[in-house]
Amino acid sequence: MHIVVCIKQVPDSAQIRVHPVTNTIMRQGVPAIVNPYDLFSLEEALRLKDKYGGRVTVLTMGPPMAEAALRKCLAYGADEAVLVTDRAFAGSDTLATSFALASAIRQIQNDMAVDLVFAGKQTIDGDTAQVGPGIAKRLDLQLLTYVSKIESLDLEKREITVHRRAEGGVQVLKTKTPALITMLEGVNEMRFATMPNMFRAARYPLKVWDKDAAGIEDVTKIGLKGSPTIVSKVFAPTAKSQKASMIETESGDPRDIAITLLTKLFTQHPKLEKEIGKRAA
Ligand SMILES: Cc1cc2nc3c(=O)[nH]c(=O)nc-3n(C[C@H](O)[C@H](O)[C@H](O)COP(=O)(O)OP(=O)(O)OC[C@H]3O[C@@H](n4cnc5c(N)ncnc54)[C@H](O)[C@@H]3O)c2cc1C
């Protein structure tokens, strides 16, 4: 069994500050970490390897410094690591990122077929949750998002059954592999790095791929050229001064609750009642 886990190096958002005057993000001196959501996926991949054997390859696209994130994952127990890095990737949005990662996974497949790809639910910096599904689409993989548990994996039948957290309940989904899975946060706990793995991680000859090695021929699909997303404005939300307040009603009757709420709203915004009346007329 071969599992590829996509991980991203991100700034530790707990230590990021917004400049009080310019409203820009102050990144200086902020340590880089493995995106925390990716660790839930890596741990699940390592558990599957413990159970079924095989290989776990970690993959990232990023600047040369992302090497540290890959070595961290090797210390946790990943077997192989690939860093896709090239100036041509600068400015990539989620479309270009998923294109580059999908190409790299195709190259990884040349060495050993891939049964499962894991990605984090989302990142703590970009936060779009688009890259995993983007890779699945490009590689024609079954997509299993927000997975809370891997119920079973049948390598011979190439079938996987998972629990997926959905609004209001849990879905039990069975599908074919190869599949791409994004794990929910909090569903497992990352193991400690062992001493032998730490030594191995430090000495491991990382695979560093430029765009050519990642199998990318069409440069219009990567970097700024391949990124149609436009970030028109970045700003820090203004702090809300209003505090939440408790509203008590005489009974739990929905009409009673609605009337109490409306009365409170009309008291706070006296013109609202007239406006609603006008619109309704
Ligand atoms: C217009 C635009 C320009 C940008 N320019 C730059 C730039 O110049 N430099 C820059 O660093 N960023 C840039 N970004 C941000 C970059 O596009 C995103 O960081 C990247 O596409 C991942 O998106 P995300 O962080 O929302 O990931 P999500 O979709 O939230 O990530 C989900 C999961 O996908 C996987 N994943 C995501 N990214 C990677 C990765 N790189 N390698 C491996 N796995 C990954 C992880 O498992 C992650 O948990 C730009 C974004 C936009 C919109």
Which of 161-191 are b and which e, b meaning 16 or more Cβ less than 10 Å from the residue's Cβ?
ebbbeeeeeeeebeeebbbbbbbbeebbeee
In ligand 1, the atom with minimum distance to the C-alpha of 230 is 1
Q: Which domain holds residue 265?
A: 240-281
**Ligand 1 center from residue 239 Cα (angstroms):** 27
Q: Candidates 34, 61, 92: which one to mutate for ligand 1, based on the most atoms within 8 Å of Cβ?
A: 92
**Ligand 1 center from residue 122 Cα (angstroms):** 9
Residue 250: which residues within 8 A CB-CB, separation 6 or more? Answer: 256
- How many whole angstroms separate alpha carbon 233 and alpha carbon 238? 14
In ligand 1, the atom with minimum distance to the C-alpha of 135 is 34
Domain check: are 109 and 172 in the same one?
Answer: yes
Tokens 């990737």 belong to residue? 89
Domain check: are 21 and 144 in the same one?
Answer: yes
Number of domains in the chain: 2
> Is residue 230 situated within a structural domain?
no
Domain check: are 75 and 47 in the same one?
Answer: yes
- What's the pTM value of the predicted model, to 2 decimals? 0.84
Domain check: are 278 and 168 in the same one?
Answer: no
Q: Whose CA is nearest to atom 10 of ligand 1?
A: 91
Per-residue model confidence as pLDDT tens for the chain (281 residues): 999 999 999 999 888 777 777 666 677 788 999 999 999 999 999 999 999 999 999 999 999 999 999 999 999 999 999 999 999 999 999 999 999 999 999 999 999 999 999 999 999 988 999 999 999 999 999 999 999 999 999 999 999 999 999 988 999 999 999 999 999 999 999 999 999 999 999 999 999 999 999 999 999 999 999 999 988 877 777 777 777 778 788 788 888 888 888 888 888 888 888 888 888 87
